[in-house]
Amino acid sequence: MLTYVKSNLFESPAQVIVNTVNTVGVMGKGLAKAFKDIYPEMFTQYQALCEGNQLSIGKLWIYKTPNKWVLNFPTKQHWRSPSKIEYIEAGLKKFVETYSEKGITSISFPLLGCGNGGLDWEGEVQPLMEKYLRPLPIDIFIHLNDTKSKAEHININETKQWLRSDPSQLSFAEVWEDILETIQSPVLDKNYSVELVQDEYEEQLIFLSNGRHVVITKGQLADLWRYLRGVGFCTWQGLPSGLFDYGKLIFDFLSKLPYIEIISLSHQFSNEDDLKDGIRLKPGIQSKMSTVAEDSNHEK
């Protein structure tokens, strides 16, 4: 599924993140410079490939770490030259042909060839990315430019820690403990209250909001967590059966957990109005329960 997200590429939960490069071995500014700072070993190998004329337009090179892969995608030949739309298409064709054999199951793209590359997003690049990427049966995220999270301004040390961690290992048991703690917390929105009840079959959360009585079961929340943990993002369409009408309420409540936040995203994008609230796993994910356990271990 193709999803547009307004968040930092380096904070993506996807298996693979895409770096746009030239073919002469220079990562001098913008996104590529950030990749160079975070993965100096990758830059050294990339430079050697370029100097040996082994990386060219239409070829893709994957650099693998234990928790993240970086797909280096040539969008220009020389760093002084602009990107060309035919270069973007050549790379996208190669990606479609090879993603499966490379074992890619989810991937995050920047706006290929835009920004420093000089290509027009709406008129040139977006239609091409839609054409090649939307039909693919894997999770694909396109990261829209966000003035609050430019690559040039990221904290390199924090980003390294995030990229080299495995942020999707929390069990639902840990999440449920955090949910129960959040119910008692003053951080809850004043527009609703939450009560835990036990019916004949399972525990439920009862939300009272603007005169509405909304029931969400523990099982539904477990399904939602498994989806969010697996994909990293969740739109209204990703909500379990029966919860679609309560997306705003659910997203607001879950965003009170320390590792979930509300972001803007959409499965279709023509302008900013298409973006709706969704949720994602935050960088540096950790549950309150895990923190307590770690503190206890340190005390020993």
76 is catalytic: yes
Amino acid at 71: L
Note every long-range contact of 239-246, with CB atoms under 8 Å and residues 24 or more positions apart, other chains counting. 243/216, 246/207, 246/214, 246/216
Q: Could you tell me where the DSSP H helices lie in the chain?
A: 30-38, 40-51, 85-98, 126-133, 156-163, 172-183, 218-231, 247-254, 288-299
Pairing of strands 276-281, 260-266: antiparallel
Is residue 78 a contact partner of residue 22, using CB atoms and an 8 Å limit? yes
The residue annotated as part of the active site, out of 6, 36, 76, 282, is 76
For residue 265, the tally of other CB atoms under 10 A from its CB is 25
Q: What is the C-alpha to C-alpha distance for residues 116 and 112, in angstroms, rounded to an integer?
A: 10
Q: What is the C-alpha to C-alpha distance for residues 154 and 146, in angstroms, rounded to an integer?
A: 12
Amino acid at 162: W
Q: What is the C-alpha to C-alpha distance for residues 201 and 2, in angstroms, rounded to an integer?
A: 37
Which H or E element spans position 20? Answer: strand 16-21
> Residues with catalytic annotation?
76
